[in-house]
Structure formats: C-alpha cells, structure tokens
C-alpha cells in the first residue's frame, strides 16, 4: 500500500477509534507504525521468524499489536513454553487473538495427547468453530475419569461423519473409541462409504486403516477398477468382505450409475448384502443418476429403503422426485430426513408442498399451511416462496427504530471492532474480517444483541465496508434493517447503465451482492475480479462486443468499468436464454452452456423455476442462483417501493423450442 493511501486511511479512521484503543505509544508516527505492521504481516506469510522477532518490540502499544504478537508466537508455538503461551492468553484476554491462539494450542496439545491440559483449556475456547479442536476436546473428556461415554461417543461420531475431508483429530478419537469397543466399527464403514460416495479417496483410506490396514491392496483395486473387483469370483467367498463389495458398488455408482444398477440386480449381491447395505448402494446409484438429471433416478431410489440411506441420498431423492412430479416420493424422502435436515427451509417448504399436492385431509392441509406460515418471511429464497404460497407478496419489512447516538458510540468504542476496522482499512482484509466476525458473534464475551448488531453494521456501512455491513446486519434475530442488508452503493452508475441496456437494476444489485458484497477489488481463487467478478477472458470478449475499444485488463477493478462490462455480459447471457432470470444467473456462475444442458432435451417437462433451480447439479451454482434471485426480489421491493413476486421472476424452465435458433452460443 502506498504511504499516501495509508495516511488517508488513518485520517479517515480517526473519528471512529476511542483514545484507549487507537492510540499508539507516545511519540510514535502513525504511518511508520503502519508500515511496520504491514512488514510484520509479510514476514508472517513468509514464515520469517527472525524478521518477526525484530519487528515485534517496535509494535508494542499500537492498535494491531495483538495481531503482531499472535503472528510471532503462533509461528513458533511448538517451541514455546506453557508459561509463555499462558502469558499471551492472559495479556490479550477477551480478544480474537487469544481465542485463535488457544485453538492453535489445543490442536498441538491434541497431537501430543496432552489430555489433562486440553481438559483445562478447552472450556475456555469460545468460538468453538473447528471440528478438529472439538474432537480433541471430546477425546480428552473421554480419557478423563468417569466420562459420560454414550454421549461422548455419539458426539465424536457426529463430528467425524460431518467432515468433508480426512482429519486426524476426529479420526483418532473415533479410532480410540472403536478399539475400546465404545463405538461400533460400523461408524468407520459408514465413513468409508461417504468418502467413496463423494470421491474422497483419503477419507475412505483413513477409515479402512482404522479397521483393517491389511486391506489396502484390495481398496486400491476397488478404487481403480470396481467393475473388475466385483467380477472376481473370489469376492463372493472371501470372509468378511461384503463391506468391501459395498464400497466397490458405491465406487461403480460414482463412475457409471447404470452399470452399478445392472450389477445390483445380480442374485449374489441380493443374498450376500444386507437390506441396509443394498439400500445404501441404491441410494448412491440414485444420487448419481439424479445429479446427471436422469429420469430413472426415482426408480433407483425406490429399490432401497429411505431409512437406510444417507442424508445426501435423501436430498437427491427429493430433488429427483420434484423434477419428475412424484410428490408422494418427495414427501417420503423429506419425512425420512434427520430432524435437523428436515427443518431446513428448503425441506420444510417442499415437504409442505408435497402434502398439499396430494389431496390431503383437512387436518393435513391445515398442518402443511401452518408450516408454510411459520416459514414465511422475506429472509431468503424458500422463506419468500412460502410467503407467496400463503397468498402474500414480498414487501419491505418495517425498519427498526433509528439508532441512538449512544448505541453508535458503543459500536465505535468496541475494541475488537475498532481493531478489525483498522486492519481492513490498512489492507489486512482477511485478518480484519475474522476479527470483525468474532466481535459480532453471539458466542463471544458480551455477545451482541440485535441493537448492538445494527449499530456495528451501521459503523461498517458508514465506512463503506459493505460486506461487514451486510453480514453483521444479517445476524439480527427479531428485527430487519433492509437498507443495511441490501445496500445500494454506486447507485448512479448502476441505474444509468441498466437503463441504457434495458436491464433490471434489482437483478444487477442482487448479483453483485452475492458475487462480491460490493468489494471493488475482490478477487476470486480462479481470477475473477471486481464488483461483478468478471474473468479476464470474459472481460476482453465482452468489451469488444459492447464497443469498449480502448479497454485494458488493468481497468477491470475500476468500479465503473466493471459495472459496464459485468452488466453487458449479463444482458447478453439473459437475451441468449430468452430472458430466463434463473438460467442467466446459473450461466453467470457456471458458464452459459451448462444451463442449456440442465434445462433438458426435447421431450423433457417444463418445470417451476424453483424446482429447476433446486435440481442444479453443482452445489455452488444451486446456492448461488437461489441467493441471487432472493436478493433480486428484495432489491426490487426496496428500489420500487412496490410488492414483488419471486415466483414471477423464477418463471418456468423447460427445453428449448426445437424450431428455435439458439442464440449466444459463442458466449465465453
């Protein structure tokens, strides 16, 4: 960051810091100290411990000293003494850095099996957001005297099975309980199945190593060529290998679900495998077929019992049934879901719709409508759909009472918020964001109530930190400040551009809010840039299409240029898809050709937009489309002051007209 920019940010921030938080050591030049902390951050990234040791004393008494101290100590945590660690935790009590270092330390203590220290320190870990740390905490309790074993075993199992990737902490805890016969080996087999079902090689390997390390060779055969393994005549007579057969069938389902379905019809698997194992395999086959949008998916699911299938299978069973209009199967699949999953807005909505679609009794109809009424609000995609299902339009909620000067002052004097704001303005966005989230999390000391959250969001808005403004305001429980949750920065540019190309400004705002949270220099892991997260090749292509002959790649982070190119591309995509808002949103996220495939071929049914969106095979794109459409509807209500309909925006999605000429096939 240039010195002039640093000085500007310091002047800008001066009004929001209280003297006891933002002041530096007497006589210290602010710009000098800021350069030091940036040097310290760079040294931490490069693991330059020598540089950090030299810089740390010079940062004593500065606003971001807790970060500097954390970086320096965490980089040598395995060598630090307990007294030194405890000294840090005491000195920075109540800060994010204290909790972050304690989490790092707990992980180290777990690797060293220091259960006594973990039992002392784990209850002080406030955020509790890392499953690995939680598993070490549970294992430490198990190794203490007279633990409540049954509940601990269930907690360890739940944490392990919920992990997407391989993890030594939760696996180690599960292994100890399995060896002590406090946890069933079936848990490890289930973990292995989930890994195979999701093509997570290391997850399955780790689970098998706990059970039978000597089966590594068989597992490699299964993963590389499941069909060959299943064709081996010895497989049927090997002792205790039906679990491996199940894994092979699951692997085959991932590679070729039709081949797996054919294999499952063989008599030997009907006799060798249990009803539970066969149901699980049929769930894997059905899931893969549903992800490929096969109309055979519901029939595959019907070959098994929902009560024996995994959560992912039930979710895809419900989606496949929606896509094929089998409302009874939607109801059965959602009813079989675990309570926590069944109570998610998605499945509350579709379960109620499934009941209502089947000529229910008066009592069942009343119960379903009550569920929709309980869900209905402007909060999100399915909440909005529930609102419309109960006969209401989507309007702007009444704003809460204005914040008082005292409430605003309390937010500006919060040490963690001040430190986070300072870090973000200095260019340390990742660190500042994490500390801001900590400060506004309800589980931290002095957790914020709704009014405090509104005040913190207001502070972020006034400093144009739109991502923190939105995310903080979204934490409120009983009140909604729609102007915080749906801000409209760059309004003149957005409105001028959308009017010029005949594009709905609410749609553009809904998309920007999801893409970048209005961070002008946002950059994704794949290279997309700016407010509308435009890829370099797309920017170059679009600039040429819309007549920006002097466009240079470095201009993409200029907000005016980014809006011009992003809206231009969105308009081209929308027009190529006959104005379908959900399909265009999917195209913006996943590329323009995928939605053409997802809409189905000639002869496919025309679907409600919500059913089409729920069946998008990519989880990221599915979530993206739903959020963009919900955002758009709220922005439309805000910008127009008129009631809105999400259902109208979703419309219907079906295969293209066989006689129509496809437009926009050259879109990148």
What are the catalytic residues? Answer: 515
DSSP reduced 3-state for 28: coil
Residues with Cβ within 8 Å of 317's Cβ and at least 6 positions away in sequence, in order, are: 283, 286, 287, 290, 297, 298, 301, 306, 309, 329, 333
* Residue 41, Ramachandran bin (φ over 0: left; ψ between -120 and 50: alpha; else beta): alpha
Question: Which H or E element spans position 608?
Answer: strand 607-608
Q: What is the DSSP string of 212-271?
A: -GGGHHHHHHHHH-HHHHHH-TTTTTSTT-HHHHHHHHHHHHHH-HHHHHHHHTSHHHHH
Q: Assess contact for 585 and 625: CB atoms under 8 A.
A: yes
Q: How far apart are CA 309 and CA 30, in angstroms?
A: 60
Q: How far apart are CA 191 and CA 250, in angstroms?
A: 13
Residues with Cβ within 8 Å of 127's Cβ and at least 6 positions away in sequence, in order, are: 99, 103, 438, 441, 443, 444
Distances (CA, A) of 434 to 137, 438, 468: 23, 6, 10
Per DSSP, 548 falls in state -
Q: Which of 289, 290, 344 is nearest to 322 (CA)?
A: 290
Q: How far apart are CA 653 and CA 613, in angstroms?
A: 9
Q: Assess contact for 282 and 304: CB atoms under 8 A.
A: yes
Q: How far apart are CA 536 and CA 556, in angstroms?
A: 8
Number of CB atoms found within 10 A of residue 463's CB: 17
Could you tell me the two tokens for 614? 């729920």
DSSP reduced 3-state for 343: coil
Q: How far apart are CA 668 and CA 664, in angstroms?
A: 9
- β-pair partners for 639: none
Q: How far apart are CA 522 and CA 168, in angstroms?
A: 33
Distances (CA, A) of 433 to 345, 476, 520, 604: 28, 18, 16, 46
Q: Assess contact for 545 and 567: CB atoms under 8 A.
A: no
- β-pair partners for 529: 523, 534
Cα 583 from chain centroid? 21
Q: How far apart are CA 649 and CA 608, in angstroms?
A: 11
Q: How far apart are CA 35 and CA 283, in angstroms?
A: 57
DSSP reduced 3-state for 607: strand
Residue 123 φ/ψ, nearest 5 degrees: -60, -15
Q: How far apart are the first and last CA of the chain?
A: 34
Long-range CB contacts (within 8 A, 24+) of 399-405? 399/480, 399/481, 399/482, 399/483, 400/450, 400/451, 400/454, 400/479, 400/480, 400/481, 403/451, 403/454, 403/455, 403/458
């Amino acid at each position: 960051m240039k010195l002039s920019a640093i000085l500007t940010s310091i002047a800008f921030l001066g009004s929001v810091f209280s003297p006891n938080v933002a002041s530096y050591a007497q006589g210290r030049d602010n710009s000098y100290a800021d350069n030091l902390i940036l040097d310290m951050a760079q040294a931490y990234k490069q693991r330059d411990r020598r540089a950090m040791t030299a810089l740390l004393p010079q940062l004593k008494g500065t606003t971001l000293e807790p970060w500097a101290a954390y970086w320096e100590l965490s980089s040598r945590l395995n060598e630090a003494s307990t007294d030194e660690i405890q000294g840090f935790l005491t000195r920075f009590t109540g800060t994010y850095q204290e909790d972050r270092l304690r989490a790092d330390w707990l992980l180290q203590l777990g690797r060293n099996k220091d259960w006594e220290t973990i039992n002392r320190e784990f209850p002080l870990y406030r955020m509790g957001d890392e499953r690995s740390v939680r598993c070490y905490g549970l294992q430490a309790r198990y190794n203490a005297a007279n633990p409540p074993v049954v509940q601990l075993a269930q907690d360890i199992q739940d944490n392990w099975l919920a992990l997407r990737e391989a993890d030594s902490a939760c696996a180690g805890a599960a292994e100890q309980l399995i060896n002590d016969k406090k946890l069933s080996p079936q848990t490890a087999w289930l973990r292995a199945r989930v890994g195979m079902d999701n093509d997570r090689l290391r997850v399955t390997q780790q689970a098998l190593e706990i059970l039978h390390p000597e089966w590594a060779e068989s597992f490699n055969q299964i993963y590389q060529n499941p069909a060959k393994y299943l064709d081996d005549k010895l497989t049927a007579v090997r002792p205790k290998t039906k679990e491996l057969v199940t894994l092979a069938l699951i692997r085959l389902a991932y590679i070729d679900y039709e081949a797996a379905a054919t294999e499952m019809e063989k008599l030997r698997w009907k006799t060798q495998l249990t009803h539970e194992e066969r149901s699980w395999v049929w769930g894997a086959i059905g899931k893969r077929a549903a992800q490929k949008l096969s109309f055979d998916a519901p029939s595959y699911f019907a070959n098994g019992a929902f009560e024996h299938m995994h959560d992912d299978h039930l979710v895809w069973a419900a989606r496949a049934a929606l896509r094929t209009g089998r409302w009874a199967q939607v109801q059965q699949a959602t009813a079989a879901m675990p309570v926590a999953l069944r109570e998610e807005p998605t499945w509350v909505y579709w379960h109620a719709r499934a009941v209502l679609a089947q000529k229910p009794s008066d009592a069942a109809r009343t119960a379903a409508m009550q569920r929709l009424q309980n869900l209905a609000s402007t909060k999100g995609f399915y909440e909005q759909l529930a609102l419309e299902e109960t006969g209401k339009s989507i309007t702007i909620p009444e704003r809460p009472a204005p914040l008082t000067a005292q409430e605003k002052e309390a937010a500006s004097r919060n040490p963690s918020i001040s430190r986070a704001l300072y870090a973000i303005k200095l260019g340390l966005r990742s660190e500042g964001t994490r500390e801001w989230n900590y400060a506004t999390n309800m589980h931290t000391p002095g957790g914020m109530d709704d009014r405090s959250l509104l005040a913190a969001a207001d502070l972020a808005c006034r400093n144009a930190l739109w991502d923190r403004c939105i995310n903080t305001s979204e934490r409120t429980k009983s009140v909604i400040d729609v102007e915080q949750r749906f801000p409209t920065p760059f309004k003149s540019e957005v409105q001028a551009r959308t009017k010029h190309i005949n594009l709905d400004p609410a749609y553009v705002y809904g998309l920007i809010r999801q893409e970048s949270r209005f961070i002008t220099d946002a950059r994704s892991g794949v290279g997309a840039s700016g407010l509308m997260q435009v890829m370099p090749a797309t920017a170059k292509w679009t600039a040429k299409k819309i007549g920006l002959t002097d466009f240079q790649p470095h201009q993409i982070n200029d907000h005016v240029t980014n809006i011009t190119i992003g809206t231009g591309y969105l308009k081209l995509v929308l027009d190529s898809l006959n104005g379908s808002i959900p399909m265009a949103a999917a195209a913006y996220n996943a590329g323009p050709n995928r939605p053409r495939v997802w809409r189905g071929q000639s002869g496919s049914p025309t679907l409600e937009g919500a059913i089409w969106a729920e069946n998008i095979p990519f989880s990221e794109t599915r979530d993206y489309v739903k959020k963009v459409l919900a955002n758009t509807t709220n922005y439309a209500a805000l910008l127009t002051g008129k009631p809105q309909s999400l259902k109208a925006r979703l419309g219907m999605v079906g295969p293209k007209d066989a006689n129509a000429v496809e437009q926009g096939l050259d879109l990148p």
